[in-house]
Amino acid sequence: MNQLADRCVLRSMYKSDLHSVLEIIYQHDDDDGEAAEEELNDLGLEGHHVIVDGDTVLGATGYRPVEGCDQTYYLSWTYLTESARGQGLGKRMLREAMDELANQGARKIFVKVSDYQEDGVNIYGSALAMYKSFGFKEELISQDFYDEGESQTILGYYFDAGSESDDDLQVQEEKPVIRFNGLFEIAETEGAYSFAWTVEKTKGFLNKRNFDAQDVQVGLDAVRDEGGRKVFLTFPSNLVLIHRPLQATGFKYVGRLKDYYEAGLHELHFSHDLSSW
């Protein structure tokens, strides 16, 4: 009998838990700790949980809804203190969080995993194996996402096994006016950037319908001036005007997150390696 597992309780995360939670994440990885600290302070603790032995926090997990999507979520910071690993607590945290989401009518959840290696060991390998054991399926890999030689894998899970859309499902194409309005370095990465953009429903008089290759090139030049090494962009799959300017400026299609926004409406991922210039 696992006495520790029997004693532990999963409950909502409180502000008073934050120091202990961040300490656990920082012990695992400094970059993760910094990113978790910023996110949890800025976005709050709703949907986040801790597993405790009495008053001692042993681990944390959580989820966040994706804005503008139909019951789509991302798994948040899921970590255990080193002394509590290997006793089934990680699987218990994940199972209870997933059950909670299922009861709320969640449709799909995604999780991001790094392939970072330390002394030849993939430090996220056990987490990846756990997600796959729950039925998460690999959907795309972004090479050199976090840093040169450190890629990102995104896995997806349908709460209803029969809810995956047929590839023949048609979603209405849209041609809104898309304007780039900034760039930013992606959190937890070294030199990976993305563009901020807005959508306008109609084009103004004499204005072009959509961003073009020249607009994309301006953004790429700005990232290069910032010392960036790669640019990653994502768009809904029904925006038909995005492909030509991206292709013309050297962007490569990475893959898709299926049914991301809703059934049949996917998130397309593209990347551009500035070192290839």
pLDDT digits (tens, 9 = 90+) for 59-80: 999 999 999 999 999 999 999 9
DSSP β-bridge partners for residue 221: none
The answer to whether domain 3-158 has CATH 3.40.630.30 is: yes
pLDDT digits (tens, 9 = 90+) for 186-208: 988 999 999 999 887 665 555 55
pLDDT digits (tens, 9 = 90+) for 156-185: 999 998 889 988 888 899 888 888 999 999
- CA atoms of 251 and 232, how far apart (whole Å): 9
Indicate if 177-276 has the same CATH topology as 3-158.
Answer: yes
Q: What pLDDT sits at residue 143?
A: 97
The CATH fold assigned to 177-276 is Aminopeptidase (3.40.630)
Q: What pLDDT sits at residue 206?
A: 52
Q: What pLDDT sits at residue 209?
A: 67
Q: What pLDDT sits at residue 87?
A: 87
Q: Which long-range contacts link 63-66 to residues 24+ away (Cβ below 8 Å)?
A: 63/97, 63/101, 63/109, 66/260
Mean pLDDT of 237-262: 96
CA 266 and chain centroid, separation: 14
Domain boundaries, the chain: 3-158, 177-276
pLDDT digits (tens, 9 = 90+) for 210-229: 889 999 999 999 999 999 99
CA 122 and chain centroid, separation: 19
- CA atoms of 243 and 226, how far apart (whole Å): 25
Residue 182 near residue 268 (C-beta atoms within 8 A): no
pLDDT band at 1 (very low <50, low <70, confident <90, very high): very low
Q: What pLDDT sits at residue 141?
A: 98
Q: State the chain's mean pLDDT as an integer.
A: 92
Distances (CA, A) of 68 to 173, 183, 256: 17, 21, 17
Mean pLDDT of 82-94: 89
pLDDT band at 19 (very low <50, low <70, confident <90, very high): very high
